[in-house]
Amino acid sequence: MTLPKTRLSTAMSGSARETEGRVRNLFVKHRRPALVLVMAVGFAIGLCGSLVACRAQVGQEQRLDALYDAAEVSFDGKPQREELACIQGQGGTLVAGHFYDDYPHCALVIGVEDDRGQLTGPVFSATSSGGRPQVSTFRKDDVDYLLYTVNGGGQGYTYGEGGLLAFDGTDFTWVWPMKGDLRQEDAQVWMEYQNYWEDQIPLPCPGGVEIFQGADDWRLYGQGPQWSFRERLQLTGGYHAPERVMNELRRVVESRTRDQDNPWQASNTSAQWQIVQVTPGEETLCGQRYTLLACSVLTGEEWLGMEVLLCPTFWSGEEQLWPNLIRVVTGSEEEVRQALSEENRQVETERITMTTATGRNLSLELELEPLDQQPYCLAIEQIRVYEGDTPLQFMAVEDDVYTPDSFYQGLFLIRDPNIGEPDIRDLNFDGSPDLGLLAESSFPHNVSYVWFLWDEETSRFSFSTYLFSNPTLDVENRQVVEHIRGDVGRPEEAVYVWTEDGTLEQISYRQLSWS
């Protein structure tokens, strides 16, 4: 996928480059002759429940029986089974099998067999309850890899483990989270592996795996989550969006579903949704649209869908992404995909009319969409300006809006006659009305607006300024006055005048008396 270049398409941060370098070091450096036949290709990392076929000389049942008999796992009765993946090499076939019962207990077993279906060495097994294993295969630098995760949980607690195996056509070895062979449980590498996953958990994601860090003092009904997102390892290069976009979307998923819309329908949950797909969409006045699909890491049956507008903003002097959550849906995969389809968007249109100083009659058409769980607050996604039936302008937010001096979250409209409606006033005292739009979706005290001035010569609205609170216009002195609630609640006043080049310049700022 080729992503459009937008304000979100930035170079990798230092931490991202460090992670990328560390991931590159995971892979086998030597090159070997191409395998005779590689049967496991194109398995999309993070997809829920898909299988990779393997054409081998032995039947699947015989292969799975051999894996199960060699593994030190046991079920009450004969478990159900499925082949998750196999890779045929020059000297053997790497096979991964999934065994499970109705509880569900489950086991992932991985081994190598010869052309007669006989295992050529010890197998690796990992078990869990209430969850499932997932595997993905890919080929890089003439080496075949298998990425696996095994997640489980119950009674509000979740856990998991995972690893990346390199298969040389004859046998396999671990290259992540540590290097070596884990099949000898008394080996040092086995102990390191167990310690690594003692307080971490993996979730498959597009192109790799996400790692979550456990909380030291977590309690089921405590204040903090059991797991917090730490980093993402991109192993196959299957990027769906820039890293900081993926990070913010993960934060949105964890925040929004912690106490609701999670597979357990419980409070204080975390790391239960694995991101399957992220699709970038249109640029809006509230940021770029992203559609996210996720499924339960434990069962794969429950699905989550989100539509989010990510708006660049500044906070504490650093550029960040502000999420404007539009829709959240849960259900089966089919239900979620249908709910997120274009025809099910709840788009509204509002029209504003105004007359300029020269008598021109303008109309502004606002395309709106309500925010998730805030139906009274609508994101302004597009604005079209008309004179009669003639289109004059398709408004866009210039980069000038994104400054450290503002906390721009997008453009919004609140269905309230007292606060949050578009502000149509002559801000620069030239006789023509200008357009002020709410720049924050929530606010405790000060109500911030972005202002666009009408330019008669160009027949366009252009971004002018960001005002921290609703202004008062002193027409006689041609001044714009802001009344601000300060940090400790004390009233403050800022006074501005227009310069010859059309810039709003502050000429005074003072604290007012408490009375």
Last residue of a domain, one of 180, 198, 216: 198
Instruction: Grade residue 482 by pLDDT with cuts at 50, 70 and 90.
Output: very high
Mean pLDDT of 270-285: 95
The residue-averaged pLDDT of 363-369 equals 97
Instruction: Average the pLDDT over 117-141 and give the result.
Output: 94
Compute the residue count for the chain. 515
CB 232 within 8 A of CB 239: no
Residue 478 neighbours by CB distance under 10 Å: 11
Preceding omega of 204 cis (within 30 degrees of 0): no
Q: Is residue 385 within 8 Å of residue 461, measured between CB atoms?
A: yes
The string of pLDDT tens digits covering residues 216-246 is: 887 777 778 999 999 999 888 666 799 999 9
Average pLDDT, the chain: 86
pLDDT for res 412 = 96
Cα 4 to Cα 126, 240, 280, 288, 474: the distances in Å are: 41, 12, 9, 11, 45
Indicate the range of 151-165, 168-182, 438-452, 496-510 predicted with least confidence.
438-452
Alpha helices in 56-170 (DSSP H): 60-70
Cα 306 to Cα 253, 289, 459: the distances in Å are 8, 10, 38
Q: What is the pLDDT of residue 240?
A: 79
Confidence of residue 23 (pLDDT cuts 50, 70, 90): low
Give ∠ CA 218-220-222 in degrees, rounded to 5. 65
For 288, residues 6+ apart whose C-beta sits below 8 A from its C-beta are 6, 7, 8, 280, 281, 282, 309, 310
What number of CA atoms fall less than 13 Å from residue 48's CA on the CB side? 22
Within 8 A by CB and 6+ apart from 265, the residues are: none
Is it the case that residue 32 has pLDDT exceeding 70? no
C-alpha to C-alpha distance for 2 and 181, rounded to whole angstroms: 38
* Partner residues linked to 284 by β-bridges: 287
Taken in order 55, 57, 59, 64, the sign of the CA dihedral is negative
Please determine, for residue 295, whether its predicted confidence score (pLDDT) is greater than 80: yes
Higher pLDDT, 68 or 417: 68
pLDDT of residue 27: 60
Q: Using the structure block, give the residue that is written with the tokens 């194109």.
A: 42
Mean pLDDT of all residues in 458-486? 94
Residue 40 has pLDDT above 70, yes or no: no
Residues 6 or more apart from 90 whose CB is under 8 A from it? Answer: 35, 36, 169, 170
Instruction: Specify the pairing of strand 449-455 against strand 471-474.
Output: unpaired
Query: Is 238 contained in some domain?
Result: no
Which residue, of 181, 198, 215, is where some domain finishes? 198
For every residue of 292-332, DSSP letters joined together read: EEEEETTTS--EEEEEEEEEEEEETTEEEEEEEEEEEEEE-
Pairwise pLDDT comparison (320 vs 19), residue with the higher score:
320
Could you tell me the pLDDT band of residue 406, with boundaries at 50, 70 and 90?
low
Residue 176 inside a domain? The answer is yes
Residues 6+ apart with CB under 8 A from 45: 136, 138, 147, 204, 205, 206, 207, 208, 209, 235, 236, 238
- CA-CA distance, 129 to 152, in Å (whole number)? 5
Judge whether 235 lies within some domain.
no
181-224 per-position pLDDT tens digit: 999 877 899 999 999 999 999 999 999 999 999 998 877 777 78
* Assigned domain for 270 exists: no
Pick from 189, 158, 159, 160: which is nearest to 176 by CA?
189
Quote the tokens at residue 39.
């049967």
pLDDT at 31: 38
Domain of 78 in residue numbering reads as 31-198
- Which among 299, 291, 247 is positioned nearest to 273, based on CA atoms? 299
Top-confidence residue, 128 or 33:
128
Q: What is the mean pLDDT of residues 375-390?
A: 96
pLDDT of residue 53: 45
Residue 39 pLDDT exceeds 70: no
Q: In what order do the strands lie in the sheet with 172-176?
A: 132-140, 143-154, 157-167, 172-176
Read off the pLDDT band of 117 (50, 70, 90).
confident
Q: How far apart are CA 455 and CA 430, in angstroms?
A: 10
Q: Which residue has the higher pLDDT, 357 or 61?
A: 357
Highest mean pLDDT among 76-80, 414-418, 449-453: 449-453
Question: To the nearest whole percent, how much of the chain has pLDDT over 90?
Answer: 66
The structural domain count of the chain equals 2
Tell me if 26 sits within 8 A of 145, measured CB to CB: no
CA-closest candidate to residue 444, choices 468, 411, 416, 412: 468
Q: Is the dihedral of CA 458, 459, 460, 465 positive or negative?
A: positive
- In the numeric block, the tokens 């999420």 are attached to 323
- The CA distances from residue 381 to 367, 386, 460, 502, in Å, are 6, 17, 18, 27
Beta-carbon-side half-sphere exposure of residue 488 (alpha carbons within 13 Å) = 5
What is the structure's pLDDT at 403?
Answer: 61
Q: Of 183, 198, 213, which residue constitutes the final position of a domain?
A: 198
Q: Is the pLDDT of residue 70 over 80?
A: yes
pTM of the model: 0.85
Query: Percent of the chain beyond pLDDT 70?
Result: 86
**Quick check: is 419 in a domain?**
yes
Q: Is residue 276 part of a domain?
A: no
DSSP state of 347: -
Res 137 pLDDT > 90? yes
65: Cβ–Cβ under 8 A, 6 or more apart, which residues? none
d(CA 420, CA 198): 49
Residue 6 has pLDDT above 70, yes or no: no
- 411 in any annotated domain: yes
- 8 in any annotated domain: no
Has residue 120 got a pLDDT over 50? Answer: yes
CB 295 within 8 A of CB 274: yes
Asked if the model's pLDDT at residue 51 lies above 50, the reply is no
Contacts of 30 (CB under 8 A, 6+ apart): none
